[in-house]
Structure 1
Amino acid sequence: MRKNGAMRTGLAAMVCGAVAVTLTACGGVEGGSGSGAKGRAGAPGAVARTSAPAVDPTRIPDVGDRLQRRIPSDSGQVLAVYGEGKDSAESTAVLYTKSGTAWERTRSWAAHNGTKGWTTDHHEDDKRSPVGVFTLSDAGGVLDDPGARLPYTQSETYQAPHDWPESYWHDFDYVIAIDYNRVEGDPPDDPTRPWGDDKGGGIWLHMDHGSGTSACVSLPKEGMEYLLRTLDPEEHPVVVMGDKADLNA
């Protein structure tokens, strides 16, 4: 049940998913050592020393200005989903926690997103996950509340249909609603779509079945349990998600 005891019926048939991508690395080319021209920058035959650009700790890594500006100033938790490519279902989900003004990488998990990749103009049944910044405000699932900080609605109605492949049956044991085309504060399975049905909906973080989703982001069970116990409404958590090119745009 929801923490206030309320029960809601579900539309658990709306499935989704998540992806993997390499994060920013630092490094440089070392020059020669010892005396003489070879060790002096600019001298004939010298090996120039280089360094990677400084990483700004006040920004979420590998996220460009367009999406960076959409992260609320009062948010203290950001789940970044880095998609491997525009048409890829592989991704990596990384939780960042703010300490003072700096973002610290807390945990990461391999993930999946839509089977056809990502889109900046999501529509129902396009099999692509929407690119953007979305709040995370409600949770639920088939299983009992594992100690979630977000409001949690437990119900058997989240059960995935058993005419789906067996590997999908536990997809909705735990879910966290991604606030895309939904009403914040309602259980994840609430069918209300403020932007209309054509824009899709029912996009969740949910349990992973080993491949792409309809449009959601999926994580391993331990990842979902960790997020449910960690994401705190008082920290105004959001998800920043997309393929690496769109994230950096």
Structure 2
Amino acid sequence: MRHGEVRRVGAAMVTSALLSAALAACGGSGAGHVRDGTAGAGAEGHGSPPSAAAATRVPGVGERVQRRIPAVSRQVLAVYGDGKDSADATVVFYAKRGPTWERVRSWPGHNGKKGWTADHYLGDNRSPVGVFTLTAAGGVLDDPGTRLPYTQSEDYAAPRWWGRSHWHDFDYVIAIDYNRVEGTPPDDAEQPLGEAKGGGIWLHMDHGSGTSACVSLSRAAMEYLLRTLDPDQHPVVVMGDRAALKG
């Protein structure tokens, strides 16, 4: 639930950037990168026999969505929204073993408070449906041992005028590469698709209810993902309501 710019080019700009980041959190006009809601070429072709295709798909994901998962990806975090207008989700981590996606861990989670959309825009309080790379992390707390580039800073702290339940939202964050430049720190402000398309969409710690557009998980889940996601495995997040993912 946070985005903004934290560019160290002088005290005045830093102060302004931090205020912007605090006020326009998670799903506002923040960082991001994706052209069409996809993360790359598919892992299976159009002509695959149904049984063979099903055997190589991430469970609960249809052929159209599966094709958006890069062929090189061997780690997938699937966010299965309960419904188009629901803020509740189940999050499952899969690792590819040979041609098969093996379910490794799962957790309850939350997404945008108004649900999901295939056409996310600034302030709609819905999470974007799609396949997005995971290339950078950060947070208030020290790096727990991630292989991802990690930016630790108190600047990630949620404003204290937010409700107490939100104060630890950004202790750990992993940037979802929606409308942002891949590999840059999570709070980088560049938006290739423009401000109207929103951005600053992260995986972050859960406060017990829906977000502005991010996906939230328990601290234990975030720590596990930070220690497990491996850039050499080209991790992606596949996210959306169950019906959209099957389509």
TM-score normalised by L of structure 2: 0.81
Counterpart of 2:147? 149
Runs (4+) off by over 6 Å: none
Counterpart of 2:63? 65
Q: Give me the whole-angstrom Cα distance separating, in 1, the residues matched to 2:54 and 2:202.
A: 30
Q: Give me the whole-angstrom Cα distance separating, in 1, the residues matched to 2:131 and 2:183.
A: 17
Counterpart of 1:120? 118
Q: Give me the whole-angstrom Cα distance separating, in 2, the residues matched to 1:83 and 1:195.
A: 25
Counterpart of 1:158? 156
Q: Give me the whole-angstrom Cα distance separating, in 2, the residues matched to 1:132 and 1:65.
A: 13
Q: Secondary structure at the match of 1:116?
A: coil
Give 1:55 shift.
Answer: 9.4
Q: Structure 2 residue aligned with 1:14, among 25, 38, 43?
A: 25
Give 1:77 shift.
Answer: 0.1
Give 1:108 shift.
Answer: 0.3
Q: How many residues align?
A: 208
Counterpart of 2:238? 240
- Unmatched tracts of structure 2, length 5 or more: 1-6, 9-13, 28-50
Q: Secondary structure at the match of 2:96?
A: strand
Q: Give me the whole-angstrom Cα distance separating, in 1, the residues matched to 2:223 and 2:235.
A: 16
Asked if the contact 2:57/2:63 (under 8 Å) is kept, the reply is: no
Counterpart of 2:173? 175
Asked if the contact 2:26/2:199 (under 8 Å) is kept, the reply is: no
Give 1:56 shift.
Answer: 3.5
Q: Give me the whole-angstrom Cα distance separating, in 2, the residues matched to 1:55 and 1:120.
A: 24
> What is the alpha-carbon root mean square deviation over aligned residues?
1.8
Q: Secondary structure at the match of 1:218?
A: strand
Counterpart of 2:132? 134
- Unmatched tracts of structure 1, length 5 or more: 1-6, 17-52
Percent identical across equivalent pairs?
A: 70
Q: Secondary structure at the match of 1:71?
A: coil
- Bigger-Rg structure (1/2): 1
TM-score normalised by L of structure 1: 0.80
The one-letter amino acid of 1:14's match is A
| Bigger helix share | 2
